[in-house]
């Protein structure tokens, strides 16, 4: 019996049931083992006569396209075989990904009890001594199959947990690097870019955009209105053509930052600031509660720093805006 066959006392023609690989150099002994299994249930059995044939049947080596599609729920392995015995074969199977978890039931003559310790060290799951008792064989096989199903369910739960953790971690990362209010890169993302510039020795130019009189706007329109204003300003800022490599990010409430790693050209970034201001202020968005003007306006500051001082640039830009606030000069170059 060297092909996959149905052995069953219940449904002889069924294609269902656990898949069993019997490895025994004695064909008559293998046939007896298969028939004993059939007395206790419905199994699909294949018998092979050597460890080398078992490796192929388990798709460990030299498997054909058809054999690669076969998988076995349990292996019944005779210890005493010529050339490669059952202990060595079990150890070889256990070193492979396909064979790491398949149950292996060892068949041993009573005189081979001393070898059972070696068999378990090699990776055997259980053993049955010869002459085989059908009830014991069936009980051992059912127990190993039940343990295998439990192990598969546990592995499936572990895979699901790993995937859930990965998705959770990704959502945390996404939530950290993406500003929820505007949907644009967040301050965490901008600070990560600043650290990378410092680490990699890359100079950095930046522009800070600040909404003028935001507190007064919130007092008049409320937080919902402020959120809509942020989203509208974000869309306008994103529409401005920017130098290659520039990225716009949310910094904090009422402020946005444009980062240009590797750039020292202050004239170029000053021109970008002018474009950002125009995009926000034309067409006009009514403010409703401003002290100095009737529409929403923004101030900008720009400058650059060498790599070692890149992380200090946003604070310097904010300080420049504070110094120049409402003095008629709303675009500040921070040298």
Calpha distance 168→175 (Å, rounded): 10
Measured between alpha carbons, how far is residue 38 from residues 91, 174, 184 in Å? 28, 56, 65
- Other residues' Cβ atoms within 10 Å of the Cβ of residue 32: 16
Pick the CATH number of 5-157 from 3.20.20.70, 3.40.50.2300, 3.40.50.300, 3.40.50.170: 3.40.50.2300
Pairing of strands 204-211, 331-334: unpaired
pLDDT given at position 117: 84
Rounded to the nearest integer, the mean pLDDT of the chain is: 82
**Whose structure tokens read 């201001």?**
277
pLDDT tier at 144 (50, 70, 90 boundaries)?
Answer: very high
pLDDT tens digit sequence for 276-334:
999 999 999 999 888 878 889 999 999 999 999 999 999 999 988 887 554 444 566 65
Sorted by sequence, the CB contacts under 8 Å of residue 117 that are 6+ apart come out as none
Section 6-22 average pLDDT: 62
pLDDT given at position 20: 93
Domain ranges of the chain: 5-157, 187-334
pLDDT tens digit sequence for 178-204:
766 667 788 888 888 899 999 999 999
Determine the CATH number of domain 187-334. 3.30.70.270
Judge if 5-157 and 187-334 fold alike in CATH terms.
no
94, 100 contact by CB (below 8 A): yes
Calpha distance 237→124 (Å, rounded): 67
- Other residues' Cβ atoms within 10 Å of the Cβ of residue 181: 13
Section 226-241 average pLDDT: 89
């Amino acid at each position: 019996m060297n092909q996959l066959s149905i052995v069953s006392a219940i449904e002889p023609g069924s294609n269902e049931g656990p898949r069993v690989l019997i490895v025994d150099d004695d064909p008559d002994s293998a046939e007896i083992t298969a028939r004993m299994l059939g007395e206790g249930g419905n199994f699909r059995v294949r018998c092979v006569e050597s460890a080398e044939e078992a490796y192929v049947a388990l798709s460990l080596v030299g498997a054909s396209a058809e054999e690669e599609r076969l998988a076995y729920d349990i292996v019944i392995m005779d210890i005493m075989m010529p050339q490669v015995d059952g202990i060595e074969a079990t150890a070889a199977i256990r070193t492979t990904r396909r064979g790491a978890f398949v149950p292996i039931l060892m068949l041993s003559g009573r005189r081979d009890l001393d070898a059972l310790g070696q068999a378990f060290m090699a990776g055997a799951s259980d053993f049955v001594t010869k002459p085989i008792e059908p009830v014991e064989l069936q009980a051992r096989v059912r127990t190993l199959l039940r343990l295998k199903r439990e192990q598969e369910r546990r592995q499936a739960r572990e895979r699901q947990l790993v995937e859930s953790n990965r998705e959770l971690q990704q959502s945390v990362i996404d939530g950290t690097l993406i500003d929820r209010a505007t949907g644009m890169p967040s301050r965490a993302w901008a600070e990560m870019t600043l650290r990378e510039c410092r680490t990699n020795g890359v100079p950095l130019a930046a522009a800070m955009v600040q909404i003028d009189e935001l507190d007064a706007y919130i007092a008049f329109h409320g937080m919902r209105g402020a959120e809509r204003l942020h989203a509208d300003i974000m869309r306008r800022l994103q529409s401005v053509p920017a130098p290659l490599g520039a990225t716009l990010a949310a910094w904090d409430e009422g402020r946005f930052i444009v980062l240009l790693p590797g750039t020292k050209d202050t004239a170029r970034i000053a021109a970008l600031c002018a474009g950002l201001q125009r995009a926000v202020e034309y067409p006009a968005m009514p403010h409703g509660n401003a002290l100095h003007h009737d529409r929403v306006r923004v101030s900008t500051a720009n400058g650059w720093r060498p790599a070692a001082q890149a992380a200090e640039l946003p604070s310097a830009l904010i300080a420049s805006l504070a110094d120049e606030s409402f003095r008629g000069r709303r675009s500040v170059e921070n040298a």
